[in-house]
Amino acid sequence: MKKIYGSASEALEGVLKDGMLIAAGGFGLCGIPELPIDAILKPGRRT
């Protein structure tokens, strides 16, 4: 299993499926998983 990826999109490739629930945490505007959220919401993906 590869542990380090070049981008959030690369890390999530093949993992996400329609109807999936994802919990992501942070504290206010610091510590939020900004890049993974953008990768999840990339154009073409159904929500």
pLDDT in tens, the chain (47 residues): 668 999 988 888 888 887 888 887 777 777 888 888 888 887 666 65
Burial class (CB in 10 A: 0-12, 13-18, 19+), 36: middle
Q: Is the pTM of this model over 0.85?
A: no
* Alpha carbon distance 24, 29 (integer Å): 13
Secondary structure class of 24 (helix, strand, coil):
coil
